[in-house]
């Protein structure tokens, strides 16, 4: 199994946080604060032998800084980096001409203005994706040139009304553009910046002759990121494509298996009866460690909610994963009340910010090695408070 030591040692070990000048400039209510002792963070050091966790857990900008900008735009990724995130996270899907672009889903009616383009009205259709019927417009029915005529919009406008200010301003970026942005920002900020790529619906895309794995491997090579020490993770909710990246395509970067409820669709399609729950038992994690370096579980698989919606007690998942030599990066930490445990909400307003920092610290105390968050500034503040507190 490949080791994370070189990668994690490379992710931002030499530079202090870049502070964001004003809240008004960011369109939110707070800024990243420097540490009380003035020392720079050393993000993502190799796991310690004593606690088997990273010395400084990774803050992963979920779809960029998607709490403050429309998700999966270059503006969102750049803001996340400037807020101090260790990693930016593009989800990738394919265009009709085989180019990987950053979208949460291949269905794009909720994240672009495609419905406002009469020239594409006849592209609206219904498809079966991972066993579910979905209606809308799909990236695989557009060439890259056509997709570039669209503009991104906020996916959660009712919760994130401030983000709608930026509707119509940003294009759909390609993976290559995201990797170029990463390189530029790493140079400017004088720290390594990790890119954490997720392949979306790989079994579906294989079924229509549009591989995600081969162009991903090619993009990493083109960006000189096809080495063990590169600041890159690749993640997926499916196992087969991770194994293909590992065994057939020789991708050297760490691979992370995302975990939810139900079962991975690649296994469903193959008639394999195993569920996600089956795959994260202690024994199964040890077996999976031959192909993967980490897991990305839904956060409530790490600390479930109690019957009244308050945060409960940690499960054994983190310890089981660490015993198998795997890192644990749960998702998704969001500041709005509607996404928080009931005891950490600030009011009945679903869009108002609650105590996200307290939630993150509870998970850090449970031993996680990193986390995905829509508000990287709060994530950095929580991580730094936790590290300083240690």
pLDDT number for residue 390:
62
The CATH architecture to which 5-105+160-389 belongs is Alpha-Beta Barrel (3.20)
In sequence order, the 6+-apart residues with CB closer than 8 A to the CB of 122 are none
Structure tokens, 53:
């966790």
Q: Is the dihedral of CA 384, 19, 154, 265 positive or negative?
A: negative
Buried b (16+ CB within 10 A) or exposed e, 73-105: bbbbbbbbbbbbbbbbbbbbbbbbebbbbbbbb
pLDDT number for residue 104:
96
pLDDT digit string, tens, across residues 89-126? 999 999 999 999 999 999 999 999 999 999 999 999 99
CA distance 363 to 41: 19
Domain boundaries, the chain: 5-105+160-389
Helices (H), 4-96: 5-10, 23-26, 74-82
pLDDT number for residue 43:
37
CA distance 383 to 364: 8
- Please answer whether residues 65 and 90 qualify as being in contact, where contact means their C-beta atoms are separated by less than 8 angstroms: no
Lowest mean pLDDT, pick from 40-44, 119-123, 279-283: 40-44
Reported pTM: 0.88
């Amino acid at each position: 199994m490949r080791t994370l030591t070189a990668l994690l040692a490379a992710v931002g070990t030499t530079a202090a946080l870049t502070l964001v000048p004003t809240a008004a400039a960011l369109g939110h209510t707070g800024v990243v604060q420097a540490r009380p002792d003035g020392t720079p963070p050393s993000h993502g050091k190799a796991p310690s032998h004593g606690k088997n966790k990273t010395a400084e857990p990774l803050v992963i900008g979920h779809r960029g800084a998607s709490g403050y900008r429309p998700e999966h735009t270059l503006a969102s990724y750049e803001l996340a980096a400037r807020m101090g995130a260790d990693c930016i996270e593009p989800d990738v899907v394919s265009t009709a001409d085989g180019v990987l672009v950053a979208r949460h889903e291949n269905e794009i009616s909720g994240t672009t203005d495609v419905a406002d383009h009469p020239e594409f009205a006849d592209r609206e259709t219904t498809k079966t994706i991972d066993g579910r019927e979905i209606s809308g417009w799909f990236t695989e029915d557009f060439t890259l040139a056509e997709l570039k005529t669209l503009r991104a919009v906020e996916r959660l406008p009712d919760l994130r009304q401030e983000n709608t200010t930026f509707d119509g301003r940003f294009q759909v970026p390609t993976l290559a553009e995201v990797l170029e942005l990463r390189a530029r920002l790493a140079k400017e900020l004088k720290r390594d910046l990790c890119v954490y790529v997720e392949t979306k619906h790989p079994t579906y895309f294989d079924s229509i002759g549009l591989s995600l794995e081969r162009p991903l491997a090619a993009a990493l090579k083109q960006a000189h990121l096809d080495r063990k020490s590169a600041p890159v993770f690749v993640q997926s909710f499916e196992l087969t494509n991770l194994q293909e990246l590992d065994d057939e395509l020789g991708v050297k970067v760490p691979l992370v298996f995302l975990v939810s409820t139900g079962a991975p669709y690649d296994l469903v399609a193959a008639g394999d009866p195993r569920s996600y729950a089956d795959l994260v038992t202690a024994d199964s994690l040890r077996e999976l460690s031959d192909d993967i370096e980490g897991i990305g579980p839904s956060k409530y698989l790490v600390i479930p909610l109690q019957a009244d919606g308050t945060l409960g007690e940690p499960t054994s998942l983190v310890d089981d994963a660490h015993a198998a030599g795997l890192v644990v990066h749960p998702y998704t930490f969001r500041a709005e009340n509607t996404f928080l445990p009931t005891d950490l909400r600030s009011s009945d307003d679903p869009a108002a910010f609650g105590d996200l920092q307290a939630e993150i610290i509870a998970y850090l105390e449970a031993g996680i090695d990193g986390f995905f968050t829509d508000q990287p500034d709060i994530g950095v503040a929580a991580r730094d408070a936790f590290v300083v507190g240690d």
